[in-house]
Amino acid sequence: MTSIRLENVHVNFGKTEVLRDISLEVADGELCVIVGPSGCGKTVTLRAISGLTRPSRGHVYFDDNVIDHVAPGDRNVGMAFQTYALYPNMTVRENWEFPLRAAKRQEELIQERVGQVTGLLDMGPLLNRYPRELSGGQQQRVALGRALVRRPQVFLLDEPMGNLDAKLRVELRASLRKLQMDLGVTTVYVTHDQVDAQALGDKIVVMDVGSVQQVGTPEQIYETPANLFVAGFIGTPRMNFLDGTLKQENGNLVVEHPLFKMDLPEEVVGRLADNARDRKVVMGVRPESIGVSTHPGPQTIPGKIYVCEPQSNEVIIEIELEEEVHLKVRVGRDALGFEPYIDQLVQVQIDPDTLHFFDSVTGVRLS
Amino acid sequence: MAQQSAAAEAVPVTTPATGARDKWFRRTLFIPPLGFLVLMTIFPLLYSLGVSLFNYSLGGTAKFAGFSNYVTLFRDPSFWQVTFITIRIALFAVAIEMVLGVLLGFALHQKLPGMGLFLLIIFLPMMLAPLVVGLFWRFLLDQTFGLVDYLIASVGFKPIPWLTHPRYALLSVIIVDVWQWTPFVVLLTLAGLGTVPPDLEEAAELDRASVWMRFKHIYWPHLRFPLLLALTFRLIDTLKLFDTPFILTGGGPGNLTTTLSLLGYRFHFQFFQISTAAAISWVIVIIINIVANILVPQMQKAPRGSEEAVDTGL
Ligand SMILES: Nc1ncnc2c1ncn2[C@@H]1O[C@H](COP(=O)(O)OP(=O)(O)OP(=O)(O)O)[C@@H](O)[C@H]1O
Ligand SMILES: [Mg+2]
């Protein structure tokens, strides 16, 4: 049906450049998730795709056709606005019927679609209410529903579930994904929620200050973050970063930190680029790939428990290696094997296999 | 932190006593405007009502006449002619102003470069004094010296006796009123359009709503109130129209452009029948009251979807 392509898109508001050279491709039928911190340009990117904002440079393509000069209404996109943009003088039902009536659909089809969306979003008892009589999460579902009742070429969903409770969100996520796959509608989905992103996306786009930091499958983004920003943004709690130096020592590559020194196994060395010798690096290690025990072992680093945040079936422990050097660790309760308490002395075990290396200056991944 | 929150708690809570004092203070604030109202509005109204119930004429003593002034007035066919002319001018002029004003308002709602200057030009007629407008148009429409007839003649048509022909004189009065007051409707339309949330316009655009659907569902809820206001103001204003026909046509030819206000003026200053003039002004008051009583309640109705929740749906 439709693939979307942004080619070197720039968007300016006055003098400020809000999107800087965005290039992005979403294949036909794909669900692409855009994540990034607040104000990084996610909404503006969606608006550029829908045509509501005109890029100052660059082009937008649908299926290899440039659509820079196609009016928003003629692009056949269904958009759920972050601000909801519900028609205030219409009931929920009328809001949903509106795009269908605008398209002069048969009454039967209108009722069928509205019924479908009502079920999907669990809005049955609220159909005859006006938007101002709804809670925030209910309004958000109306906004999502209005995008879904149509069968457009493209769905553009701007944080469509940010205001929903956890249970509803999980349910809706699954039904939304199913609907999107059944219809095969190419979708761009903006979210702050990493779980949403991981669960829904065929592809994740990570943005920061108006530019794309990395594009990849959820696994790629998690396992091989392209730079420090992506590494720090994806994953909760965020990845631990430690300064270090890569050194050649009697035939082995080692990474050196004031507190420890680690031999790097062959696979890791193989992954690193050749020029990654004798330089300062930032080591990244995910909280979930650090082991904690009470007894010292080979290559363990001593530390002291600083904060302990119990979760449902795991614990997030912040360990102080020395002043100002903290590591966050996430372990399952069972795997931990002891009851952690503050100021407890523990041993930290880092598997060199799981280390990520980034250039200390540019922040780019070394591999 | 703790100190700050303590300071926040120290704000005195309004006690019933200060509440009562507040209430009295607020009531006393009413007194000056109330006095002003009585002095400047109620008194002249009642006075003119009194005058219309007596027989005042120059030199003579006032004799109570009851409603006889009104009866004479209502028996006079030219009074009815003038009443209908007044209503006709009001209806036609206001209808044209409303339609034109809304269309122009939508046109000017777009943000194009140079719009500021254009807006200024559009609003200029409204800022001019009625006398200036009247004289200006009398020159424009004059049969021998007027620019309009000059242009008409230059493209080969016969000049039109705008101000003296029975057919055109009324039209001229309407044209001038439209020229001067359409900007007012434009202004209120723009004010209404300015309150439409842009994301609603965008949503409707993406939903491919037709022009009519957009007008009805997106714009109308925001235009209803300002347009009703414009309609009320314009109707009241044109129903007591005086200056334009006075300067432009003097009410002629015959009585064909004479409005009730102009008729009242004539009775007062030309025929010196002060009581009849007062009776006429009371007829105007009554007509305007009827109009206001129809339109003002419409304004107080809340648009759909903005009432408090009635049906909880549960
Ligand atoms: N109309 C505008 N005029 C000027 N600046 C704007 C405008 N719209 C957005 N911006 C700026 O563009 C940047 C990106 O905004 P955008 O709305 O795309 O952020 P976002 O990624 O959607 O953030 P959030 O997650 O908070 O919704 C912000 O810094 C914002 O201040
Ligand atoms: Mg946004």
A61-107 pLDDT, tens digit per residue, is 999 899 999 999 999 999 999 999 999 999 999 999 999 999 999 99
ipTM, two decimals: 0.84
Domain boundaries, given as residue ranges, for chain A: 4-233, 240-359
Phi-psi category of residue A130: left, alpha or beta, with phi > 0 → left and psi -120 to 50 → alpha: beta
A266-282 pLDDT, tens digit per residue, is 877 777 766 667 788 99
CA angle B25, B27, B29 (to 5 degrees): 75
A194-231 pLDDT, tens digit per residue, is 888 988 999 999 999 999 999 999 999 999 999 999 99
Q: Are strands A186-190 and A31-35 parallel, antiparallel or unpaired?
A: parallel
Assign domain A4-233 one CATH number from 3.60.15.10, 3.50.50.60, 3.40.50.300, 3.30.1490.100.
3.40.50.300
* A13 CB within 6 A, ligand 1: yes
Assign domain A240-359 one CATH number from 3.50.50.60, 3.10.20.340, 2.40.50.140, 3.40.980.10.
2.40.50.140
% of chain A with per-residue pLDDT over 90: 65
**Chain B residues in contact with A71 (beta carbon < 8 A):** 205
Q: Which two tokens stand for residue A353?
A: 């296999």
Q: What is the pLDDT of residue B233?
A: 93
**Chain A residues in contact with B202 (beta carbon < 8 A):** 52, 72, 81, 85
In sequence order, which ranges of chain A are alpha helices (DSSP H)?
42-50, 92-102, 107-121, 136-149, 166-183, 194-200, 218-223, 228-233, 266-271, 333-336
Q: Which domains does chain B have, with CATH numbers?
A: 78-311 (1.10.3720.10)
Centroid of chain to Cα B204: 33
Cβ partners under 8 Å of residue A103, min gap 6: A150, B208
Residue-wise burial string across B94-103, b where 16 or more C-beta atoms lie within 10 A, e elsewhere: bebbbeebbe
What is the signed CA dihedral for A12, A15, A18, A24, rounded to 10 degrees? 40
**Chain A residues in contact with B203 (beta carbon < 8 A):** 79, 81, 85, 87, 146
Distance CA B55, CA B72 (A): 12
B183-235 pLDDT, tens digit per residue, is 999 999 999 999 999 999 999 999 999 999 999 999 999 999 999 999 999 99
Q: Which member of B210, B305, B314 has the closest CB to residue A90?
A: B305
- The pLDDT of residue B147 is above 90: no
Q: Which residue from A105, A168, A176 is spatially nearest to A145, judged by alpha carbons? A: A176
Given a contact cutoff of 8 angstroms between Cβ atoms, the answer to whether A180 and A152 are in contact is no
- The pLDDT of residue A157 is above 70: yes
Interface test with A, best of B199, B200, B207 (most A CBs within 10 A): B207
